[in-house]
Structure 1
Amino acid sequence: MNWLDKTVAFISPAQGLKREKNRQLLTVMNKGYGNHGASSRKSSMAGWVTQNGSVIDDIEKNIPKLRERSRDLYMGAPLATGALKTMRTNVIGSGLRLNAQIDADYLGMTTEEADIWETKVEREFNLWAESIHCDMQRMNNFYQLQGLAFLSWLMSGDAFCLLPIKPRANMPYDLRIQLIEADRVNSVDGGMLLEGNPKVLNGVEINEDGEVVAYHISDRHPSSFDIQKMKHIRVEKFGRTTGRPNILHLIETERPEQRRGVPLLAPVIETMKQLARYSDAELMAAVVNALYSVFITSDADSETDELGSIPEEDEVDSGNETTYELGPGTVHFLGENEKIQEAAPGRPNPNFDPFVTSMCRQIGAALEIPYEVLLKNFTSSYSASRGALLEAWKMFKMRRQWMAEGFCQPIYEEFLSEAIAKGRIDAPGFFTDPMIRKAYSGAEWNGPSQGQLDPLKEVNAAEKRVDNGFTTRSAETVALGGGDWFRNHSLRIREEQARRDAGMASGVPDQTMEPDEEDET
């Protein structure tokens, strides 16, 4: 105790005890994290003002503004556009392709029978998926819709997909895909709550257990102008009798009890906007510096025309007398007592590229896209470039798996149900036993393969992985080029047979050879 505490304790023991208690409590608070990230005494932390908020206050209330700014960056900031399109191209590419993989052992099927069944299903699925009839709008096929849904999710934070049934001529399947923009899932008049109902927030309805049970979709975009009152339709997430999904919600949550998604660019919105402003300013400064003009002063009034001045039809703002415009190679006459003070702007700025590069590294770290991949700038060593690609592909594969499980697989299962119900696909027990249904619904979704910096090294590594049993030829074929090994194998047999028939030497075994002869060859 210091002298003040002793004095207070002598006069009022209760107050002295209280002061000592608070002092001990403060000592406890400044231990562990209290001496570091949670410190309230360090000067470096004194200006860090934080506030603890719920998921509604921190996320849900800010989503509309985040969505607006994310879309604005996509439309006007090249770096933001490149980041989202880089993800779309590497995750989806031309579309994730179906590779049916049923559980033949559980279904009691031989390998040959399973292969025949899978081939037939893939053929039927492509009949529907490769046609624009699968789209409710009849504008995109299934593979193009994948890219649209993924890009919409990146830009807006979430995307929605309805699965209506609509018969169409010359198409045996009635399942349709209807993508809904994130803004249309909202409450009355675009507000957060639906008529004061706390169970409906941002168009998402939950029950007493916190389970999402329905979505409220407006008949038009909330920002569109229309004199008629906006109408909403309530779509239950799953069918009451069948339990089948009525709507798919593409969302990546970052906190429990979160109902709507956050745009991918949300953590770097401010950085990207400031960087775009800086780039525009540097570009304008460089343009002004390049438009070097000659100015001539005169001591008396002169009616001499401006030699080389900008033609009136080329002026940007000819109607404004207070505007001065510069043009390349122009000569401007000045009036009496008018002078020009030359400036040295030093543009282009030599520090522009290093600074932008440094900021792009931070942006890439936040988006999980290495700087080399973000800017398509592979100027480092082979090892560094390959490391950047491998790091990026960890994220690309994760996003691809997420997209396959949340979008492609549910739609495929709905298609398979219709195909089996209509008798185009034979699958006994599909509608009666959930395990049989799962066994028939197994599938892989393959997309674009990883880029190769040195194809020879990649192929040699793939051969060693196959020889040592670490992987299969089918998996390596997908990884290297996104192809189908069995299809390639059948085609190669016909190619090599044609070469032998033409008298050309070949080391590939004939299809008619016995297995032992193939191994020897």
Structure 2
Amino acid sequence: MQAANWIDRAIGYVAPAAALRRVQARTQIARIARTRALYEAASAGRRTHGWRSVGTDANAETRIAAAKLRDVSRDMVRNNPFAFRTKSVIANNVVGAGIIPAVKAARQQRADKIKELLDQHFDSTDIDADGRLNLYGLQWLAMATIVESGEVLIRKRIRRPEDGLALPFQIQILEPDFLDSSVDGALSNGNFAVQGVEFDQRGKRVAYYLFDEHPGATIVGSRSSFKGKRVSADFVLHVCRVDRPGQVRGVSWFAPVILRMRDFADYTDAQLMRQKIAACFAAFITGSSFDDGLDDDQDTRSSGGYPLETLEPGIIERLGEGETVTFASPPTTQDFAPYASVTLHEIAAGLGIPYEVLTGDLSGVNFSSGRMGWLEFARAIDTYRWNMLIPQMMGPLGRWTAEAAAVVTGSSEPFRMVWTPPRREMIDQSTEIKSAVSKIRAGLNSRSDEVRMLGYDPEKVDAEIAADNERADRMGLVLDSDPRRNNAQGQAQPEPSLAA
């Protein structure tokens, strides 16, 4: 405890308890100061000056910045090739050709009937309220919107039987601009809202406040002239990456690199302009007054005529006295490549994708480094799929499908939908297949799981193999690729009935 000073002693004669509290308080302050000194980043000084160290929660941050970041990110995607590639690359790898459903039910007849309905509805544009994409195109659009805008809304639209759909509902992909962020705070029904999302007293999402149209589509009026309508959470999915506990709204994935991308684009344009200007000047001539015999009202592009107002390759400009010719020395760009490499590596790190994927530059890649980069990216892709897109979008879509199927089939017999992501491209096919076979034979993984990791439905693969074998037997075909007939070395296998 801190030693008492003369003020403490003086107070102690009159109010001993107050003096004790003063000493204890000064002791606690000193202890906190010593603790802060253990962490350099928590100290106050020149090196930490300028840090915006605020204690706001995730929603306070998104309330202020999310809309601006969203608009800037869209501008970048429209005009910056690296931003456009980032959006496409992440969506292409997470969704690819589509995250496909498989149906599990107690009765195979029930599973087959549901699968038939899914094929009719999901594989066509019937699922899209806008009539443009099938389910897998909508998955890609949702994922691309998440990357660009930080979040996406998916609205369920109920349809009538006379609309002729296999399942009586459609889904509509909406940008987050449709959320009325002005609905914020305590509500009259006792619930509370966070930027357009309503929660009940238990913290469960119960509704979203949505505009009838995109606020940016209105020519007359302003955002303030609209009021979002309350839509039950049973009809809306809100998909975003959750970066902090309690976070409600998403933030554009470009947020950490927006300034870097803008600075790099400006620097690239400045280098290009520098080279273009340098290329326009070939030589400078200095000499006595020059008269080419032309009238003053004609453009002579010399010191005796109109001043130089335009630049083009091959210009020779006369400057005045003397007859000296000085040829231009164009600036070099030798410092551009190192700067570009460092900056693009920073941008790639901020976006969570490999540098080679961002730039398409494979010049410094060998098999080992390429595989290491791809494995890290593959882990990120799995995270986006299994921790965000599948639980927030595909799982609820499965519930909507079950409700619609009960209406169509007249049966509430349960079934389950299992989602299989697209197959992963192999870097070294022969090596990776041998590894998968070894894991299956050693009991470290099932054949079904290995098939799923390739992006296929195990039941469908088994059915196709059985059909191929049956057809080959019926036609009397003995194929070298048939493991029932030949082993991996091409030697004939014994008949199953004779095997020991």
Q: State the TM bucket, normalised to the shorter chain.
A: 0.7 to 0.9
Q: 1:366 — aligned with what? A: 350
Within 5 Å, which residues of 2 pair with 1:492-511?
492-493=468-469, 496-497=472-473, 500-501=476-477, 507-509=482-484
Q: 1:314 — aligned with what? A: none
Kindly, what percent of the aligned residue pairs are identical?
23
Gap regions ≥5 residues in structure 1: 105-112, 238-244, 311-320, 431-436
CA distance in 1, matches of 2:173, 2:228: 16
Within 5 Å, which residues of 2 pair with 1:416-435?
416-423=402-409, 430=413
CA deviation profile, 1:234-260 (whole Å, cap 9, x unmatched)? 1021xxxxxxx2111112233344331
Distance 1:492 1:504, change over 3 A: closer
After TM superposition, the structure 1 stretch with the greater mean CA deviation from structure 2, 369-378 or 14-23, is: 14-23
CA distance in 1, matches of 2:339, 2:78: 23
Paired residues of 2:283 and 2:326 also in contact (CA < 8 A): no
CA distance in 1, matches of 2:341, 2:374: 18
Within 5 Å, which residues of 2 pair with 1:28-43?
28-37=31-40, 39-41=42-44, 43=46
Q: 1:246 — aligned with what? A: 235
CA distance in 1, matches of 2:186, 2:39: 46
CA offset at residue 291 of structure 1?
Answer: 4.4
Structure 1 counterpart of 2:336, from 352, 375, 393? 352
CA distance in 2, matches of 1:498, 1:337: 100
Q: 1:449 — aligned with what? A: 423
CA distance in 1, matches of 2:51, 2:341: 28
Distance 1:420 1:6, change over 3 A: closer
Q: 1:183 — aligned with what? A: 177
Paired residues of 1:293 and 1:327 also in contact (CA < 8 A): no
CA offset at residue 423 of structure 1?
Answer: 1.5
CA distance in 2, matches of 1:73, 1:199: 35
User: What is the one-letter code of the residue matched to 1:371?
Assistant: Y
Structure 2 counterpart of 1:461, from 435, 454, 468? 435
Distance 1:485 1:520, change over 3 A: farther
Helix, strand or coil for the counterpart of 2:216? coil
Distance 1:174 1:340, change over 3 A: farther
Q: 1:94 — aligned with what? A: 97
CA deviation profile, 1:108-127 (whole Å, cap 9, x unmatched)? xxxxx44x543432222010
Helix, strand or coil for the counterpart of 2:71? helix
Within 5 Å, which residues of 2 pair with 1:51-450?
51-102=54-105, 104=106, 113-114=107-108, 116-167=109-160, 169-187=163-181, 191=182, 193=184, 199-227=192-220, 229-237=225-233, 245-291=234-280, 293-297=282-286, 299-303=288-292, 324-328=309-313, 330-334=314-318, 336=320, 344=329, 346-348=331-333, 350-378=334-362, 379-401=364-386, 402-423=388-409, 430=413, 437=414, 440-441=415-416, 443-450=417-424
Q: Normalising by structure 2, what TM-score?
A: 0.80
* CA-based RMSD: 3.9
CA distance in 2, matches of 1:340, 1:400: 66
CA distance in 2, matches of 1:26, 1:194: 36
CA deviation profile, 1:149-186 (whole Å, cap 9, x unmatched)? 11111111111111111236443322111122111111
Paired residues of 1:194 and 1:203 also in contact (CA < 8 A): no
User: What is the one-letter code of the residue matched to 2:121?
Assistant: W
CA offset at residue 8 of structure 1?
Answer: 6.9
CA offset at residue 22 of structure 1?
Answer: 6.6
CA offset at residue 87 of structure 1?
Answer: 0.9
CA deviation profile, 1:379-417 (whole Å, cap 9, x unmatched)? 333222111111111110111122122112222321232
CA deviation profile, 1:428-450 (whole Å, cap 9, x unmatched)? x54xxxxxx4xx12x32222222
Count of aligned residue pairs for this structure pair:
469
CA offset at residue 139 of structure 1?
Answer: 1.2
CA distance in 2, matches of 1:23, 1:519: 90
Q: Normalising by structure 1, what TM-score?
A: 0.77
Gap regions ≥5 residues in structure 2: 300-305, 486-492
Q: 1:316 — aligned with what? A: none
Paired residues of 2:289 and 2:320 also in contact (CA < 8 A): yes
Helix, strand or coil for the counterpart of 1:269? helix
Correspondence 1:473 to 2:447 = yes
CA distance in 1, matches of 2:327, 2:203: 68
